[in-house]
Chain A
Amino acid sequence: MSKRIDVKDLNVYYGNFLAVEGVNINIDAKSVTAFIGPSGCGKSTFLRTLNRMHEVLPGAHVEGEVLLDGADIYGPGVDPVTVRTNIGMVFQRPNPFPTMSIRDNVLAGVKLNNKRISKGEADALVEKSLQGANLWNEVKDRLDKPGSGLSGGQQQRLCIARAIAVEPAVLLMDEPCSALDPISTLAVEDLINELKDSYTVVIVTHNMQQAARVSDKTAFFNIAGTGKPGKLIEFADTSTIFNNPSQKATEDYVSGRFG
């Protein structure tokens, strides 16, 4: 079910601007990998290249290879839609579909693709996904109410339920807790720990304690200056990155000394 990702010599461009340069990284299946680094260093941009969301923006393109269990997702003839079915994504700001109920939001991946599903199967899928996102008990009595009526933290967990309802092999999370209070953040972090059993999780975070709490491995990105491309500085076990980094820049960043 869950798959590994191997990235080889990836350059990411916005038009002619090189945003991220020369990334090589191997993300294991059933692990949590955290991307940390200062704002603008390209970690979100890089994350979006992992499920071909990057190219949605006009002019954006990449060079290099991203292998999902050995198959290049940027290979010729690969349909980005297939890639995205395999690699789900949770965004920084909760974005439930405003026209849909909570139930329909969870089923969005199925219904928007016009797949036939019986009511019983749909009910089971809704309950399983919401259970998986730690949201079931809070919303089980109001599944037909609009998703936009939930609190911010609940909306974010609804978005996670929506993402895992299509059962992707990999789940990408782009700063999923940056708009949430500590209690909701804790709920999402608990959830990430549970998701690890069946999914490969990649999370971008600005919160280093969060990276230390949830991830098995951590990647540190940095940027030399404005207009220069972001680079992967160091990638190692989380404990190594935070306690015994091999690069000076990493040590400065994780210990709070900048520049």
Chain B
Amino acid sequence: MTTTLTPTPNRRRSALTKGQLPKYAPWVVLGASLIVGAALVNLIGFNPFGWGLISAILFTVGLVAWSGSVEGARKAKDKLATCLVFGSFIIAVLPLVSVIWTALVNGIPGLMTPGFLGTSMNGVTGVADNKAVENGTKVLGGVYHALIGTLQITALATVISVPVGLLTAVYLVEYGNDRFLARAITFFVDVMTGIPSIVAGLFAAAFFFIVVGPGTKTGAVAAIALSVLMIPVVVRSSEEMLKIVPNELREAAYALGVRKWRTIVKVVIPTAISGIASGVTLAIARVIGETAPILVTAGFATAINNNVFGGWMASLPTYIYTQILNPTSPSNPGPSDQRAWGAALVLIILVMLLNLIARLIARVFAPKQGR
């Protein structure tokens, strides 16, 4: 047996790979544009923002021009589009990174102070803050009361909003049939989505003014205000989730002689539950940071109040707001700043946890795949 070997053509210079930029081309252009950019910025006085901007422009122009001369117009357009997409991504992410970074840098000293999460502001006066600054001792006071308030108010708002929102969505998808009532509800839900949060707060305050009496400020009033903001979000997300449940599943259940409401409760909602749950969690994340409606409905407190139905209540956003606007010690606002940033960090962590929980719920409840 003899085997004939066809001569291997030169791999490096294949006809198919002719006229392409080498793989290292973007890095070369990046390095060059960073250097040239730095030089140009130094002419007008160095600042990192200008350096980044000029380098980005130089990089785009350089890479597109080089690609156009070697690879042709189509590849050059591709490179331009890639640069634009990456640039937009960086512009979108920068503020987020900046916010998280600032909150971390300013918030960690507050958060790391022993007792920050476990004490309230009860009894913490300007005198204590002045002492802390003068003697360099630890800053007293914490967010415990505000954390309790935020969690209780948001939990109550969720308890109110989820049944109302979910049942509305079930009506719209399963029973509405595009009737006048269904279309009217959809329209007003859309209008509700756009209500400014302070208006929702004023509504709840006015409602309790009429029903209970003047000056009624409790956590429950705030929860009502927040649920006004939450319900449209829950309705909209649940509606979308229920809509994408295939009609075939409903028909399969009907064909087995299952009643419509049982089909909805046992087939449609379980199939959509992961999407509904993450929609609800995102709605919670949206209202947990509301400040204005809570100020006008729950007032503000410095002491722990565990009763959501009685007495003024603090929450994390209103805590931050008052600490910044009215420092405990007007002559030494440092400790108040530190506490406010610490509270802001706690709030961001709460929202992040909620998003993580939403993902976890979506994964746990998702219809099972695999064999």
B270 touches A146 (CB 8 A): no
Q: Is B363 an interface residue (CB 8 A)?
A: no
Please list 26 pairs of residues, one from A and one from B, whose beta carbons are closer than 8 Å in the complex, sorted by A's number. A51-B255, A53-B251, A58-B177, A81-B257, A81-B259, A84-B255, A85-B256, A89-B251, A89-B255, A91-B252, A95-B248, A95-B249, A99-B267, A99-B270, A99-B368, A108-B258, A109-B256, A109-B258, A112-B258, A112-B266, A113-B257, A113-B258, A113-B259, A145-B368, A145-B370, A162-B252
Q: Does B113 contact A (CB under 8 A)?
A: no
Q: Is B254 an interface residue (CB 8 A)?
A: yes
CB distance from B26 to the nearest CB of A (A): 43
User: Closest approach, in angstroms, between the C-beta of A224 and any C-beta of chain B?
Assistant: 29
With the chains together, A82 CA to B256 CA distance in Å? 10
Shortest A101–chain B CB gap in Å is 8
The answer on a CB contact under 8 Å between A99 and B255 is no
Nearest 7 CB-CB pairs, A to B? A85-B257, A98-B367, A149-B371, A146-B368, A89-B255, A109-B256, A95-B248
Instruction: Determine if B369 is an interface residue (Cβ-Cβ < 8 Å).
Output: yes
Let me know if B254 and A97 touch, CB within 8 A: no
Tell me the chain A residues, 79-129 only, with Cβ under 8 Å from chain B. 81-82, 84-86, 88-89, 91, 93, 95, 97-99, 101, 108-109, 111-114
**Inter-chain contacts of B263 with A (CB < 8 A):** 112
Contact present for B367 and A99 (CB under 8 Å): yes
Alpha-carbon separation in the docked complex, A114 to B259 (Å): 11
Asked if A148 CB lies within 8 Å of chain B CBs, one says: yes
With A53-B251, A93-B248, A99-B271 known as contacts, the answer to whether A163 contacts B256 (CB < 8 A) is yes
A-chain residues with CB within 8 Å of residue B258 when the two chains form the complex:
81, 108-109, 112-113
Q: How far is the CB of B360 from chain A (nearest CB, A)?
A: 18
**Across the two chains, which residue of chain B brings its CB closest to A93?**
B248
In the complex, which residue of chain A has the Cβ closest to the Cβ of B253?
A112
Q: Does A67 contact B (CB under 8 A)?
A: no
Residues of B within 8 Å of A93, CB to CB, are 248
Q: Does the CB pair A114–B262 fall under 8 Å?
A: yes
Judge whether B246 is part of the interface by a CB distance below 8 angstroms: yes
- Within the complex, what minimum Cβ distance (angstroms) separates B17 from chain A? 42
**A residues less than 8 Å from B251 (CB atoms):** 53, 56, 89, 91, 95
If A56-B251, A89-B251 are given as contacts, then 19 extra A-B residue pairs at C-beta distance below 8 Å, sorted by A number, are A51-B255, A56-B254, A58-B178, A81-B257, A81-B258, A95-B249, A95-B252, A97-B271, A98-B271, A98-B367, A99-B270, A99-B368, A101-B368, A109-B256, A112-B267, A113-B262, A142-B371, A145-B371, A163-B256
